[in-house]
Amino acid sequence: MPTQLMPGERSIALVRQHWSVLAGHVLGAIVVIIVAIVLNAKLPATVGSVSISTVKTIVALVLIVGSVLWAGLRILRWRFATYHLTDRRIVMEGGILSRTAETIPLDRIQNTVIHRPFGDRLIGAGDIEIESAGRDGVEVLHRIPKAETFYNELLTTMNTPPSAAAPPRPAGL
């Protein structure tokens, strides 16, 4: 569900976290799947005189299905989480079945900081911290792709007078 823009509001940038936030989850699921398959193949089919091949297979299938569902859930959460910069606000949306939207008006932002550790710089990502009036603490936009571009767009939009950023609305709206 894309952000509903207010009358006269203009979209500047719409991004989601860098795909690399999924790497650990997908790699973990792949490792669990491989371990389940190897253990199913290598463990003996009987313990004493009792056959455990059905139990082995069920445990392996539960591990495989569980890890696929877990990774799939993480991918869906990533897919539906967005950061939308408009000429008036930043909207952070997330959630799969139950959606959440949080808004920071640009005129309330007091400070912004961009963090780009070495690993993030290699992949072109970074974190943007936003401190705004009337909020507890700092809101962090994690691992934004092309973070410098998004950060520069944010600063430019914040420093553009509202009358220049969006055309005036007709009277009565």
Neighbours of 104 (CB within 10 A): 20
119 pLDDT above the threshold of 60: yes
User: Which residue would you say has higher pLDDT here, 116 or 6?
Assistant: 116
Neighbours of 137 (CB within 10 A): 8
168 pLDDT above the threshold of 60: no
Residue 122 belongs to a domain: yes
Of 92-106, 126-140, 157-171, the one with minimum mean pLDDT is 157-171
Q: What is the pLDDT, as a whole number, of residue 157?
A: 92
152 and 98 fall within a common domain: yes
Q: What is the pLDDT, as a whole number, of residue 5?
A: 85
Last residue of a domain, one of 52, 77, 102: 77
pLDDT digits (tens, 9 = 90+) for 39-86: 999 988 888 888 888 999 999 999 999 999 999 999 999 999 999 999
Q: What is the pLDDT, as a whole number, of residue 173?
A: 43
* Start-end of H helices in the chain: 23-42, 53-80, 118-123, 147-158, 162-165
99 and 68 fall within a common domain: no
Residue 120 belongs to a domain: yes
Distance CA 153, CA 156 (A): 5
Question: Mean pLDDT of all residues in the chain?
Answer: 88
27 pLDDT above the threshold of 70: yes
Q: What is the pLDDT, as a whole number, of residue 46?
A: 81
Is the whole model's pTM more than 0.85, yes or no? no
Residue 105 belongs to a domain: yes
Residue 111 belongs to a domain: yes
SS3 57: helix
Range of the domain at 115: 11-17+84-165
Q: What is the CATH number of the domain that holds 140?
A: 2.30.29.30
88 and 161 fall within a common domain: yes
Residue 55 belongs to a domain: yes
Count how many domains the chain has: 2
Q: What is the pLDDT, as a whole number, of residue 137?
A: 76
